[in-house]
Chains A and B, each alone.
Chain A
Amino acid sequence: MKLTLKSLASLTYDLLFKLLLIGDSGVGKTCVLFRFSDDAFNTTFISTIGIDFKIKTVELQGKKIKLQIWDTAGQERFHTITTSYYRGAMGIMLVYDITNAKSFENISKWLRNIDEHANEDVERMLLGNKCDMEDKRVVPKAKGEQIAREHGIRFFETSAKANINIEKAFLTLAEDILRKTPVKEPNSENVDISSGGGVTGWKSKCCS
């Protein structure tokens, strides 16, 4: 059995989707991702340095879909690094914190960033995180729904801590991307080894 790039990739997944998490610092992007990828929650706050990613393979409509999820630093000082990762994203999750009014006000700023740096056909989604902290809420759910409706994007209130809507949000975003993906045998084309790192390492193995 001579193994090729395509046949080896097909053993592990059918499609690769690149997702990106953005939003103000401290809204819980890393925690949302950690809950989805490792089903765990960590209360200690460690600010993300620049950019990181996690991989999670899910199954949708009988297809194994590998999600490479890029987690960005919300702090302004990393802006030039993080925006260079917008271009490769097929889906972007914009996260705010329902206990932090400023993070909600900044949504328009983040949406502008998407317009400026991401692909035109990128799937967007709005998440209001920390919805377990009802006593500290300052952003009503209706306001999140309204701004999402205005921009024609999906909206969920989530809690990484209480594990509310996290998996649902990621799966919905992946489904929306899958719906737009042309049906073909996409394995080899989708092992993307461009800019942001991606899933790499297969290439050399078919050369000898």
Chain B
Amino acid sequence: MEFGEESSPALAFEKDAFELTVEDVYDISYVIGRDLLKISSTGEEVSDLQFRIVRVLEMFETLVNKYNLSVEELKMERDNLKAELDRIIREGSSSSGQSGQTVGANQLVVDLNDPNRPRFTMQELKEVLQERNQLKAQLMVAQEELQLYKSGILPQSEPAMVDVDLGTPAATEDSSSTINEKTTIGKL
């Protein structure tokens, strides 16, 4: 029956001490102030007590205010530390991957059962490609040379030009020129 405007400030008395806000302190002050008015007419001693109660309520207000601000600060501090911890854990896991335990950001897992897994080094590929391109260039030269013979620009009888067949060292003189050819290629 007395609910409504009267009951709500009084609710502040029922709250947990650590949940109190400055507004609750004002509600408490309101209720206590109202009760004090009821008894203030009875005597002189009451006004001293009234004064002290107001003083205590002011101190209470300051304490509640300070406490709430501290809680807020601590919450922020906690969130910052949590973020920092997450970051360190992430960095820690990626650097421990480099020491071999887990796989880090710059590492690749190779499936040994995959027939198309990478197997050759960049240097090996480089050498194979160089050899391929050399052979290709030599083939082109040989083709051009053949073209010149066919068109009759070059005489067939010129012996210095006919050591294209590198694989068949028939005479000793030929084989020496073959070795010569090989060492030349080796230098390229």
Contacts and interface: CB of A to CB of B under 8 A. Distances in A.
Chain A bound to chain B: yes
Interface of A: 1-3, 8, 11-12, 49-53, 55, 80-81, 84, 193, 196-208
Contact of B161 (A3, A53, A55, A81): A3
Interface stretch (B5-13, B30-38, B139-147): B139-147
Contact of A3 (B122, B129, B130, B154): B154
B180 A207 contact: yes
Nearest to B147: A12
B39 interface: no
Interface of B: 122, 125-126, 129-130, 133-134, 136-138, 140-142, 144-145, 148, 153-155, 158-161, 163, 173, 177, 180-181, 184-185, 188
Given A205-B160, A205-B163, A197 B130 contact: yes
B180 A199 contact: no
B176 to A, nearest CB: 8
Contact of A201 (B141, B158, B159): B141
B184 A197 contact: no
B1 to A, nearest CB: 75
B136 A80 contact: no
Given A52-B133, A53-B136, A207-B177, 6 more contacts: A1-B158, A53-B137, A207-B180, A208-B159, A208-B177, A208-B180
